Amino acid sequence: MKTFCGRANPTTGTMEWLEEDENYDYHQEIARSRYADMLHDKDRNVKYYQGIRAAVSRVKQRGEKAIVLDIGTGTGLLSMMAASAGADFCYAIEVFKPMANAAVKIVEKNGFRDKIKVINKHSTEVTVGPDGDMQCRANILVTELFDTELIGEGALPTYEHAHKYLVQEGCEAVPHRATVYVQLVESKRMWSWNKLFPVHVEAEDGEKIIVSPSEMENCPGVPSVCDIQLNQMPSCDFTILSDVVTMFSVDFSKPVRSASTSYRVQLEPVKSGKAQIVLSWWDIDMDPSGMINCTMAPYWVKSTSAFQWRDHWMQCVYFLPNEEPVLQGEKVYLTACRDEYSVWYALQKARAEEENKAAVRVESPVCRCQAHLLWNRPRFGQLNDQNRTRQYIKSLMKVLKTDSVCLCISDGSLLPVLAHYLGAEQVQCFFLFFLSLRFSLVFLFFKANNLEDKIKIIEARPELLTSSHLEDKKISVLVGEPFFTTSLLPWHNLYFWYARTAVTSHLTSNVTVLPQSASLHMMIVEFQDLWRIRSPCGTCEGFDVQTMDDMIKNSLNFRESKEAEPHPLWEYPCKSLSDPQEVLTFDFRKTVPQHSLSTEGSVNLLRKGKSHGAVLWMEYHLAADISVSTGLLQISNEKGNCEWNPHCKQAVYFFSSVIESETLSDIPSAVTYAINFNTKTGDIAMDFKL
């Protein structure tokens, strides 16, 4: 069955009605899912297997039959482990239908049809009794329902229900317990993902400081977890203010309560500084003794973790509501609050605490300033990137004249403010907006800087811009970062070009456009680890999971042409195998052409290594000799290690050799490519041959 789905095209800005296969969401879910990554996570798999074996043997030693409940069976892996370990029967519950179907096939293929019953239901719908899904309650509870924040995928309510209705009292649980750890740090880098720092502008009439509105200063932000590969954060980017402490733990073998609660620990700062960030991770003990432990601890806590790569579980960065000075040795209290699905933190000074002995009730963070709704964390980082701001200031100074009439097209940008100050406050500035959410944020922002009468905010789509919006003036300088919140892939910000085309009739004949052009760059890379997320598994701990591999491959091919996917490469080390190459240019001084832009060529491979894929990014040429890169910043050494713009996601196109896991018979010396930018649809199609 086909259905029509409306969506705004991120590049062209037009509304499109796409005929979507009803399976579209399924395929997206599977193709982009973390199943492959989990199956590749050897450390996790080995420890689950050990824990399951130990639990089965404890039950057998008691002379009982081992009846397993595996909630969220996915491929059926943990149930197959239990059956191999001697479990008498397993109930494997999986809510996601395509996965439940795959589990049935995989279980059958591995010869466990008589031992494992796959039930395609949410665990809270499962019935127990002679006519129920389960004949009786289980005495071993096995699950893997954890995300980076531990509870974000609903583990707590699922456990709470399972203990009430699906397992026996005193059951064994694998994992047996989870523990959440925290460490207080100061980090300008991480803090810059949550607050907007003042921007200093050297204008002709003295230094100007752009400040953020008080609503933004005091805003607690959003509750969504900030999960990152903390092992990629160099130690010079943060200062440790406390030891690692246990925040809370959950015993999965006993009844679990999911209702909102809070936990408090006392911390004695090991250093004076500004408490800004709580870093957090967890570990799971697979058995009661704690001998089988699987930990997400970062490299400075456990030196071997740098080699233990996984993407389905990372580490969390929590922003305290406000930065709080702490003194070495002067105790503070850290409170973790949680509801069923998320955790947030607050810090109290010990003295204030004594005065107010009543339990601290900290509300879940709700963004009041709208900035945290409009800008994600990398965008905050980008706006706080002084080096980047300097490039824009230099370029604006080159292009602005005192009689300039300036129009800015970008989402929630500081460019109009910069233009206003740099143009000696003579420049007439307009700012084009599309959504009221953005409108009110920008208004607050201009107001905080006393600019609400100086910069006119226009709330209209570019194609609906009229001369009266512009007070019958023609635009002599058109600026954009460009940045749009709807962009996922680097070239989606080419929407600026489409907007520029739409407002052409309002531009002077010799208009200056900043950036004047953009170029798409490409480089062939070998990833240290990221290739795993798309690579088939074959067998996992001796179980044949090829059905899953085929399913993922089928979903990746669902769209016929494979697509590039966005990844923040500062978190995923890779080495360059070729020189970076400019492949397409987009001239913003002209309108978007009717015809497609395409290119073909080949790149030589300069270093030995596995060509896992191509990385693509955009560079913006702001003005003569001034460019900013949203991708490669530099190749740092002769080994080819790369440094990427930390505030942008780059596009990664995995080669079929990764997806098919084929070993190439001979090492290629060059990669040929064909890249086509369809100006009508805004899509970039690409093809590579090794």
Q: Total binding residues for ligand SAH by CB under 6 A? A: 19
Residue 145 binds ligand SAH (CB under 6 A): yes
Comparing CB distances to ligand SAH, the nearer of 535 and 611 is: 535
Instruction: Answer yes or no: 207 catalytic.
Output: no
Per DSSP, 577 falls in state S
Q: In 540-557, which positions are buried (b, 16+ CB within 10 angstroms) versus exposed (e)?
A: beebbbbbbbebbbebbe
CA atoms within 13 Å, Cβ hemisphere of 374: 22
CB of 158 to ligand SAH, least distance (A): 4
- Of 676, 513, 489, 474, give the one whose Cα is nearest residue 591: 513
Residue choice 72, 152, 220, 365 for contact with ligand SAH (CB under 6 A): 72
Q: Segment 401-430, which members bind ligand SAH (CB under 6 A)? A: none
555 φ, ψ (degrees, to nearest 5): -70, -35
Residue 73 binds ligand SAH (CB under 6 A): yes
Neighbour tally for 408: CB within 10 Å: 27
Selected catalytic residue, list 144, 172, 215, 526: 144
Residue choice 37, 144, 481, 619 for contact with ligand SAH (CB under 6 A): 144
Give the rounded distance of the alpha carbon of 427 from its chain centre: 39
CB-based burial label for 366 (10 Å; 0-12, 13-18, 19+): exposed
37 φ, ψ (degrees, to nearest 5): -60, -40
CB of 659 to ligand SAH, least distance (A): 20
Of 68-76, 181-189, 266-274, 460-468: span binding ligand SAH (CB under 6 A): 68-76
Judge whether 82 and 155 are in contact, CB under 8 Å. no
CB of 142 to ligand SAH, least distance (A): 8
Cα distance between residue 207 and residue 325, in whole Å: 29
Comparing CB distances to ligand SAH, the nearer of 95 and 362 is: 95
Judge whether 448 and 211 are in contact, CB under 8 Å. yes
Comparing CB distances to ligand SAH, the nearer of 158 and 295 is: 158
Amino acid at 641: N
Residue 81 binds ligand SAH (CB under 6 A): no
Comparing CB distances to ligand SAH, the nearer of 120 and 253 is: 120
Cα distance between residue 254 and residue 242, in whole Å: 31
Residue choice 77, 337, 400, 551 for contact with ligand SAH (CB under 6 A): 77
Comparing CB distances to ligand SAH, the nearer of 71 and 383 is: 71
Comparing CB distances to ligand SAH, the nearer of 29 and 683 is: 29
Comparing CB distances to ligand SAH, the nearer of 71 and 642 is: 71
Structure tokens belonging to residue 459: 């709330």
CB of 30 to ligand SAH, least distance (A): 10
Judge whether 611 and 677 are in contact, CB under 8 Å. no
Residue 286 binds ligand SAH (CB under 6 A): no
Comparing CB distances to ligand SAH, the nearer of 93 and 314 is: 93
CB of 119 to ligand SAH, least distance (A): 8
Residue 548 binds ligand SAH (CB under 6 A): no
Comparing CB distances to ligand SAH, the nearer of 13 and 157 is: 157
Cα distance between residue 429 and residue 423, in whole Å: 10
Q: In 88-114, which positions are buried (b, 16+ CB within 10 angstroms) versus exposed (e)?
A: bbbbbbbbbebbbebbbbbbeebebee
Selected catalytic residue, list 20, 29, 108, 153: 153
Residue choice 68, 78, 296, 583 for contact with ligand SAH (CB under 6 A): 78
Comparing CB distances to ligand SAH, the nearer of 156 and 479 is: 156
Judge whether 521 and 632 are in contact, CB under 8 Å. yes
Residue 71 binds ligand SAH (CB under 6 A): yes
CB of 95 to ligand SAH, least distance (A): 4
CB of 562 to ligand SAH, least distance (A): 24
Judge whether 498 and 11 are in contact, CB under 8 Å. yes
CB of 113 to ligand SAH, least distance (A): 18
- Of 95, 98, 74, 73, give the one whose Cα is nearest residue 22: 98
CB of 509 to ligand SAH, least distance (A): 59
Comparing CB distances to ligand SAH, the nearer of 117 and 122 is: 122
CB of 404 to ligand SAH, least distance (A): 56
Q: Segment 7-46, which members bind ligand SAH (CB under 6 A)? A: 38
CB of 540 to ligand SAH, least distance (A): 8
What DSSP string describes 607-667?
Answer: S-S---EEEEEEEEEEETTEEEESSEEEE-STT-BEEE-TTSPEEEEE-HHHHTTPPPSS-
Judge whether 635 and 644 are in contact, CB under 8 Å. no
Judge whether 630 and 618 are in contact, CB under 8 Å. yes
Instruction: Answer yes or no: 144 catalytic.
Output: yes
CB of 230 to ligand SAH, least distance (A): 22
Q: Segment 95-134, which members bind ligand SAH (CB under 6 A)? A: 95-96, 99, 122-123
Cα separations in angstroms, 289 against 24, 337, 559: 45, 28, 49
Residue choice 10, 13, 51, 74 for contact with ligand SAH (CB under 6 A): 74
Cα distance between residue 336 and residue 349, in whole Å: 15
Residue 524 binds ligand SAH (CB under 6 A): no
Residue 454 binds ligand SAH (CB under 6 A): no
Comparing CB distances to ligand SAH, the nearer of 313 and 484 is: 313
Residue choice 158, 212, 239, 629 for contact with ligand SAH (CB under 6 A): 158
What DSSP string describes 213-234?
Answer: -HHHHT-----S-EEE-GGGS-
Positions of E strands within 159-314: 167-174, 177-186, 199-203, 206-210, 226-228, 239-240, 245-251, 261-267, 273-285, 293-295
CB of 35 to ligand SAH, least distance (A): 7
CB-based burial label for 351 (10 Å; 0-12, 13-18, 19+): exposed
In sequence order, the 6+-apart residues with CB closer than 8 A to the CB of 234 are none
Of 69-77, 226-234, 447-455, 555-563: span binding ligand SAH (CB under 6 A): 69-77
Q: Segment 82-101, which members bind ligand SAH (CB under 6 A)? A: 93-96, 99
Cα distance between residue 156 and residue 265, in whole Å: 22
Cα distance between residue 288 and residue 66, in whole Å: 17
Comparing CB distances to ligand SAH, the nearer of 106 and 518 is: 106
Residue 482 binds ligand SAH (CB under 6 A): no
Q: Closest residue to ligand SAH, Cβ-based?
A: 72
Of 71-79, 509-517, 525-533, 625-633: span binding ligand SAH (CB under 6 A): 71-79
Cα distance between residue 143 and residue 77, in whole Å: 11
Catalytic (active-site) positions: 144, 153
**In the complex, which residues of this chain contact ligand SAH (CB under 6 A)?**
38, 71-75, 77-78, 93-96, 99, 122-123, 144-145, 154, 158
